Amino acid sequence: MAEMIHLRSPREVMCGWAHLPRYIDKIRLHLAGQLPPEYEELLGKQSDELWLKAAGVTHEQMVELVRGSLTDGQICNWVRRHVVRSDEEKARTADAILRYPLPGDRAGQERFARRKRDYGLGGRDDIQTRADLIDADESRLP
C-alpha cells in the first residue's frame, strides 16, 4: 500500500493567505493522480471554496495555474498580481477557514461533533475546529 502523502496544514500561509499552500498541495496531488479519494471528493469545496470566493478566482483557474507552475514562488507571484486583497480581507478569510465551526453555529457544531466521532476523536476536547481535526488526523497534533 502506498504511503499517505500529507498535505500542508490549513494554518500554513502563502502570500498572506491561510490554507492556500494546502489547496495547492491538493491540486498537485490531484494532477499527479495521487490525491486520496476522500480528499478528491472535496477538492474545490469547503475550505477551498471559501478561499476561492475570497480570492475571486475559480477552481479551474487554480488547477491551470498549478498545472503550469513548477514552484510555489511562481504561484505566489501570480496570486500577488491577480488577487489583490487587503490584510483585513485575508484575515477574515483565515478566520472563516481556520475557526470553523464558530461557537454560535449550532448546525456547524453538530456536524463537526459527528465528524470528530467518525474520525475516532470524539473524546478530544482540544480539537475545536476543522483545522484542529485536520491537523490531528494528519498527525500534526499529538
Split at pLDDT 50, 70, 90, the class of 142 is confident
Q: How far apart are CA 114 and CA 120, in angstroms?
A: 10
**pLDDT value of residue 4:** 65
Q: At what angle do helices 72-82 and 20-31 cross, to 10 degrees?
A: 120
Q: How far apart are CA 129 and CA 65, in angstroms?
A: 29
Q: Residue 17 belongs to what H/E stretch?
A: strand 17-18
- Per-residue DSSP letter, 71: S
Across the range 48-77, mean pLDDT stands at: 98
The residue count of the chain comes to 142
- Per-residue DSSP letter, 142: -
**pLDDT value of residue 89:** 98
pLDDT averaged over every residue in the chain: 95
Residue range 81-119, pLDDT digits in tens: 999 999 999 999 999 999 999 989 999 999 999 999 999
Q: What three-state secondary structure class fits 137?
A: helix
Q: How far apart are CA 52 and CA 96, in angstroms?
A: 12
Domain boundaries along the sequence of the chain: 1-98, 104-142
**pLDDT value of residue 1:** 36
Across the range 37-48, mean pLDDT stands at: 95
Question: ω before 101 within 30° of 0 (cis)?
Answer: yes
Split at pLDDT 50, 70, 90, the class of 3 is low
